[in-house]
Amino acid sequence: MTGGISKRINRIQFALLSPEEIRKMSQVKVITADTYDDDGYPIERGLMDLHLGVIEPGLKCATCGGKVDECPGHFGHIELAMPVVHVGFIKEIKTFLDATCKSCGRIKLTDDEIASYRKKFDAMSLSSSDPEIIGLMSKKVTDEASQRMVCPHCGVQQVKVILDKPTTFREEGIKVTPKEIRERLERIPDDDLIFFGLNKEVARPEWMVLTVLLVPPINVRPSITLETGERSEDDLTHKLVDIIRISQRLRESRDNGSPQLIIEDLWDLLQFHVTTYFDNQTAGIPPARHRSGRALKTLVQRLKGKEGRFRSNLSGKRVNFSARTVISPEPFLSINEVGVPEKAARELTVPLTVNIFNLESVRNFVKNGPAPRDEFGKYLPGVNYIIRPDGRRIRVSAQNAEENSKRVEVGWVVERQLMEGDIVLFNRQPSLHRMSMMAHTVRILPGQTFRFNLAVCTPYNADFDGDEMNLHIVQKEEARAEARIIMKVQEQIMSPRFGGPIIGGIHDHITSLFLLTHENPLFTEEQMIHIMSYVNPEKTPVAVVKNGKRYYHGRDIFSAVLPDGLNLKFTSKLCASSKAKCEYESDPADKEVVIVNGKMIHGTIDETAIGPFSGIIIDKIFRKYGPAEAAKFIDRMTRLAVGFISQRGFSTGIKDYDIPENAVSRIKEISDEATVRINKLIETYREGMLQPAPGRSVEETLEIEILSVTGGARDESGKVASAYLGLTNPSVIMARSGARAKMLNISEVAGMVGQQSVRGGRLNRGYYGRTLPHFKVDDIGGKARGFVKSSYKSGLDPLEYFLHSIGGREGLVDTAVRTSRSGYMQRRLINAFEDLKVDETRSVQDTIGTVIQFKYGEDGVDPTRSERGETVDLDYLIFDAEQEVQ
Amino acid sequence: MGKFNVLQHDLVPEHHLVDAKEEQKILKELNVAKDLLPKISRNDPAVKALEEIHGPLENGRMIKIIRKSPTVGLSTYYRIVTGEVFK
Ligand SMILES: [Mg+2]
Ligand SMILES: [Zn+2]
Ligand SMILES: [Zn+2]
């Protein structure tokens, strides 16, 4: 950056524009609603008058003589035929009308009151005091004045003014015209303005009723020429055209002495146009529309909301050196890498400042031109532009590359294309936590998509159903260093939210390692080699010899990716709920996963061991060996998992949910029993014999009872079904290992779908007294209120299907509502917290240095470095120490 | 109904008036200027309750607050009495 700050803002004053001020600012009085003549030349005194600025090349500004990029644009003005109120000041006008006398214009306070309040207001200066405090005081005073119904100064009886939104004022039902309002505001003496928080030096209340309208420069509302040669005007220009037209017609009607009714209609129309010119979303009036039916974007709409000037152009900006494309998985990349398509890599550049040390290598890059490849056709980084010390950019082409490479000297900047090993930032929206943007090293790959390791899906919350992600090329050495040291994926493995790993194996990784280690199966040497060929291990598994042939245990194969010296003992997810002996393991010792010196001895690897959030092995490796080793483990672990599951094969289908005939009939019995019990409950209730539960009404009690019957029936049928679906069933494997789905989902498929609910209660809305016309009014039985007896496998009948859709919709609505609401909450939190910092004393301060918290989190602990929020994991430390001693 | 003392409510943390002589010592310990400390409005019910005990408190007096904390058990916080209106 050159130049620095030339002018500093000393103060900001808020004032109202007076009609005289507007006329003084104005370069031209606009009187015609037309814009261009038939030759496409701006019409004089029209909305595109040359005095208002130029946007077309070749023309010169009639005010300053500047050409297109020199003239900043100039204001014009429209003299309105009749005054109209300014929507932005409606509240203030109402306060003025309420608190001042309709006859003499004084504030309706006694002289004594005025004297005492004036003293208070004089004690503060309008320009330096807290505007909020002035506002509160002014509100108190004006409220008091508004209460008075007889003027203390002239004794005139007052009439309540009612605001008929958005812009009409009425007194006893009779409209007060803007002209009358203006006259009343004019009568308010300067000295009384202070009580309204108005500075008499710069503002008069009657200026809130417009007689002159400022016309913004053309630069603010440029017209665009379509390919057809047709000119399309800006929304603001359209609105101004309307205003001038109506103003003219109003003036003519008034001068011709047209009937009062017509004049009033035109006046209202003028008010409408001026109101929508300011804000086209004013409550109470229909938005002004374009001929196509699209609502016009007027002044307020330009500023407000997500697409407004502030959030879209000032707080957020478009950036260079970035790319966006679809993402897809690549298990052979490290978690620290990102695959960038060649096409993107050729466009994205890193600036190299030439010095005596890199001169040779940089010249070599330039010599290669903009699209070099090696002898095998592999991508090599080229150069798109070179920048001379004076800032001139020179495009490098295959033709001029050789010559340009010789011109490059120390002090030049060369924009080199992306190459392997470059550090880049990778991001997926919504960026809800810091792991939403992490640093990766580049791998240039063929294809059109960004690719990354599946373990990194969790922090980005990404999947591959069409998700897109953004890539930013870091441009400065300091930034690259920071990205490498703190933003790299391996540095972000530990989540600051819960102090455990947020990166780990997912879906098939978990299934695969579960199958590899559960019951410790044996594999032939061939199988082992196939599996290990996916990994890049430091060790190879130990063989066991049987019948003269070498075999390998699943746990030993897994141990090949564990670092030496790792000692760990924990209960697997599979056995988490079992007490003494785990029902899923034949060896009681396998209840716990035991790893000694990097060798897995007992247990089954599942979600608890390697999953994101829970992954104990990842957690401990990270703490004992650091980020690099943890990343290495995740890389190898995921590749091993992919290797094994592609060797073994894994699939599930509807056949996996087959259960014997007797189980099906047992489930039918269960659902019938449930129906009987529901009917009995309803009968008891109808007889008035149902005992209400403490603190509940009889109706509530009935609902709770029925819900517990239906819930019980589903659980019961789930139990019956899963009795026939053991750990050999693929779906059960996925559910038990934590790879995907819950046992509940399996019992929905094989057993019974169960009760559908909305907001925690049975379905009850739809038709009068019933959910569907197929039921009798006031039928509160099972089926009528959404008890689905069928299973997904057997299929739902039409009524069940419909009721199930009602229940399913709740989930969809919830997510939609939740995301928008939590998004807004997040925005507010970020805005409140964005400039707080923790200093070296661990106290939290804002930018001024005001203390927010004396010690971060009250204990000064970085949750990332804590053991899931605790200081130490004693059990682990003891086990680790014991093993190391041996 | 007798007058209700907010400080006796279970969910209101302990508020103590810091002895004027101790203030300097605490500020030194915390290593911050007094005007950078968090504030408490003199209209705060807790301050009013303290005034019941200690008599009127001037602006600038230090209040020590002891709160239950999920991370450290009990945590201390300091606030300075101000006349500003908080909303
Ligand atoms: Mg998706
Ligand atoms: Zn100009
Ligand atoms: Zn009066």
Contacts of A361 (CB under 8 A, 6+ apart): none
- Is residue A487 scored above 60 in pLDDT? yes
For A696, the token pair is 């509940």
- Is residue A431 scored above 90 in pLDDT? no
- Is residue A7 scored above 80 in pLDDT? no
How would you class A546 by CB atoms within 10 Å of its CB: exposed for 0-12, middle for 13-18, buried for 19 or more?
A: exposed
pLDDT in tens, B19-69: 989 999 999 988 889 989 999 998 899 999 999 889 899 899 999 999 998
Model confidence at A624, pLDDT cuts 50, 70, 90, reads: very high
- Is residue A2 scored above 80 in pLDDT? no
A427-439 average pLDDT score: 92
A349-371 average pLDDT score: 93
- The predicted pLDDT at position A718 comes to 86
Contact B72 A854 (CB under 8 A): no
Nearest to A841 among B31, B78, B85 (CB): B31
Contact B32 A851 (CB under 8 A): yes
Count of Cβ atoms closer than 10 Å to residue A878 Cβ: 11
Looking at per-residue pLDDT, the higher value among A40 and B70 belongs to B70
Q: Which fold has domain B12-82?
A: Eukaryotic RPB6 RNA polymerase subunit (3.90.940)
A323-344 average pLDDT score: 96
Cα-only R_g, chain A: 38
A813-818 average pLDDT score: 87
From the list A439, A518, A520, the residue with the least C-alpha distance to A482 is A439
- Is residue A380 scored above 80 in pLDDT? yes
Model confidence at A1, pLDDT cuts 50, 70, 90, reads: very low
Instruction: Fill in the DSSP letter of residue A330.
Output: -
For A229, the token pair is 């040669």
Average model confidence (pLDDT) across chain A: 90
How would you class A399 by CB atoms within 10 Å of its CB: exposed for 0-12, middle for 13-18, buried for 19 or more?
A: exposed
Contact A858 B69 (CB under 8 A): yes
Tokens 């079904």 sit on residue: A721
Ligand nearest to the CA of A154: 3
A742-768 average pLDDT score: 89
Count of Cβ atoms closer than 10 Å to residue A416 Cβ: 23
Residue of B nearest to A136 (CA): B85
- The predicted pLDDT at position A302 comes to 93
Antiparallel, parallel or unpaired: β A437-445 and A423-427 = antiparallel
Looking at per-residue pLDDT, the higher value among A667 and B83 belongs to A667
The DSSP code sequence of A214-249 is EE--GGGS--EE-TTS-EE--HHHHHHHHHHHHHHH
Q: How many helices (DSSP H) and strands (DSSP E) are in chain A? A: 25, 30
Residues of chain B numbered 27-66 and touching chain A (CB < 8 Å)? 30-33, 36-38
CATH for A507-648? 1.10.274.100
**Rounded alpha-carbon distances, angstroms, from residue A476 to A352, A443, A480, A481:** 9, 20, 6, 9
CA A103 / ligand 3 centre spacing (Å): 5
Q: Does B1 touch chain A (CB under 8 A)?
A: no
- CA gap A49, A41 in Å, rounded: 9
| Interface contacts A/B by beta carbons within 8 Å | 34
Ligand nearest to the CA of A72: 2
Model confidence at A518, pLDDT cuts 50, 70, 90, reads: very high
Looking at per-residue pLDDT, the higher value among A389 and A818 belongs to A389
Residue of A nearest to B37 (CA): A851
Contact B71 A850 (CB under 8 A): no
Please count the CA atoms within 13 angstroms of the CA of A249 that sit on its side-chain side.
Answer: 15
pLDDT in tens, A799-808: 999 999 998 9
A312-316, A414-418, A635-639: which has the minimum mean pLDDT? A312-316
Residues of chain A numbered 114-153 and touching chain B (CB < 8 Å)? 133, 136
Domain locations in chain B as residue ranges? 12-82
CA A166 / ligand 3 centre spacing (Å): 27
How would you class A27 by CB atoms within 10 Å of its CB: exposed for 0-12, middle for 13-18, buried for 19 or more?
A: buried
For chain A, what percent of residues have pLDDT higher than 70? Answer: 99
Class of domain A322-492: mainly beta
Nearest to A851 among B38, B72, B85 (CB): B38
- Report the 3 state secondary structure along A680-749: HHHHHHHCCCCCCCCCCCHHHHHHHHHHHHHHHHHHHHHHHHHHCCCCCCHHHHHHHHCCCCCHHHHHHH
For A487, the token pair is 């933003």
- Is residue A745 scored above 80 in pLDDT? yes
Q: Please say whether the beta carbons of B50 and B44 come within 8 A.
A: no
A371-397 average pLDDT score: 93
Nearest to A859 among B37, B71, B85 (CB): B71
User: Å from B29 to nearest chain A CA?
Assistant: 11
For A560, the token pair is 């090949």
From the list A73, A82, A98, A79, the residue with the least C-alpha distance to A32 is A79
**Rounded alpha-carbon distances, angstroms, from residue A622 to A541, A573, A615, A618:** 23, 21, 11, 6
Model confidence at B87, pLDDT cuts 50, 70, 90, reads: low
- The predicted pLDDT at position B85 comes to 63
pLDDT in tens, A387-409: 999 989 999 999 999 999 999 99
Model confidence at B86, pLDDT cuts 50, 70, 90, reads: low
Contacts of A153 (CB under 8 A, 6+ apart): A101, A104, A106, A108
pLDDT in tens, A122-134: 887 766 777 788 8
Domain locations in chain A as residue ranges? 87-207, 222-318, 322-492, 507-648, 654-812, 835-886
A566-587 average pLDDT score: 88
- The predicted pLDDT at position B2 comes to 59
For A79, the enclosing helix (H) or strand (E) is strand A76-85
Q: Which CATH number fits domain A654-812: 1.10.132.30, 3.90.25.10, 3.40.50.300, 3.40.640.10?
A: 1.10.132.30
- Is residue A3 scored above 70 in pLDDT? no
A236-256 average pLDDT score: 92
Count of Cβ atoms closer than 10 Å to residue A753 Cβ: 23
